[in-house]
Amino acid sequence: ELGENGSRACLFGANGKNYVSFEDGRDKDYNDLVLEVEGGVDILEEQIDLDYNVYTFAFEDRSLGDYDLNDVVVKAQRTGLTTVKYSLEACGGNDALYLRNISGRLLNGDTEVHGYFGVDTKSFVNTRENETRYLPVQESITVPSSFSFADEASQLYIYNATQGYEVHLAVAGQDPHAILIPYDWQYPVELTCVKDAYLEFNNWGQSRVDATDWFEHPEAGKVYTLSVFR
């Protein structure tokens, strides 16, 4: 017997459909009544601890831009309970851009992003395959033990001083002018829209349960292949 408090109903998925099955309390086979549910099942928020993955922060600096998501690219990896290694990899924007919510001795909000590479704001850094390869600017930064990439309070964002606004990671219902991928991502080359570099990007954008591996399938010749986090 299942006892007084034993569960007598369960929800499960099979073959792309959802079912609710019931047990009347005798043989525990949960087939005494089975209902197929065609709609109305909410997608539950699920957070998986991936903090020790390499993460890629990718930003589009203007509200109406080319959407190549390479105007600022920062990769990060938690290397210890209180240590995160950050790597400024690329800058494809022409505006004066500053990192925010990062407090290293080197990587912080004081230096314009192009300045880390010794170039002016009209220069492209590591977004064109056949041009000079700049070494990434890296620093290991101490963080609280409670740090999590999933926590909005811990997430990197940028400030566009030319346009006078901040660019944060997108939330539901917003255009993704900044995204965070738990992956060592190959970002699009200059002037290549992310949807053309990754053909499943729009499908994922329309439904977060579709094309969830879109970032693993770049189009040849449309992403910057030299970027390697190390």
Tens digit of pLDDT for each residue in 188-213? Answer: 999 999 999 999 999 988 887 889 99
- The alpha carbon dihedral of 159, 153, 90, 224 has a sign of negative
Rounded to an integer, what is the distance from CA 44 to the centroid of its chain? Answer: 19
Residue 225 has pLDDT above 50, yes or no: yes
DSSP 126: S
Between CA 131 and CA 147 the distance in angstroms is: 37
Identify whether the C-beta of residue 82 lies closer than 8 Å to the C-beta of residue 143: yes
| 50-64 tens-digit pLDDT | 668 999 999 999 988
Q: How many CB atoms lie within 10 A of CB 149?
A: 20
- Residue 49: pLDDT band (50, 70, 90) is low
Helix (H, G, I), strand (E, B) or coil at 197: helix
Quote the tokens at residue 225: 């292949």
Which pair of structure tokens corresponds to residue 33?
A: 């009544």
Q: What are phi and psi of 115, to 5 degrees?
A: -65, -25
- Reference 105, options 71, 142, 136; nearest CA is 142
User: If pLDDT is split at 50, 70 and 90, which confidence band does 44 have?
Assistant: very low
Q: Which helix (H) or strand (E) holds 83?
A: strand 83-90
**Which CA distances in Å does 71 have to 29, 59, 118, 148, 192?**
56, 6, 16, 24, 12
| DSSP string computed for 99-120 | EES---SSSSSSSBGGGGGT--
pLDDT in tens, 21-30: 777 766 767 6
pLDDT > 70? residue 99: yes
pTM of the model: 0.78
What is the per-residue pLDDT across 151-189, written as a single tens digit (0 to 9) for each? 999 999 999 999 999 999 988 778 889 999 999 999 999
- Does position 68 have pLDDT exceeding 70, yes or no? yes
Whether 55 contacts 75, CB under 8 Å: yes
9-14, strands of its sheet edge to edge: 9-14, 17-22, 33-37
pLDDT (tens digit, 9 = 90+) per residue, 103-132? 999 999 999 999 999 999 999 999 999 899
Mean pLDDT for all residues in the chain: 87
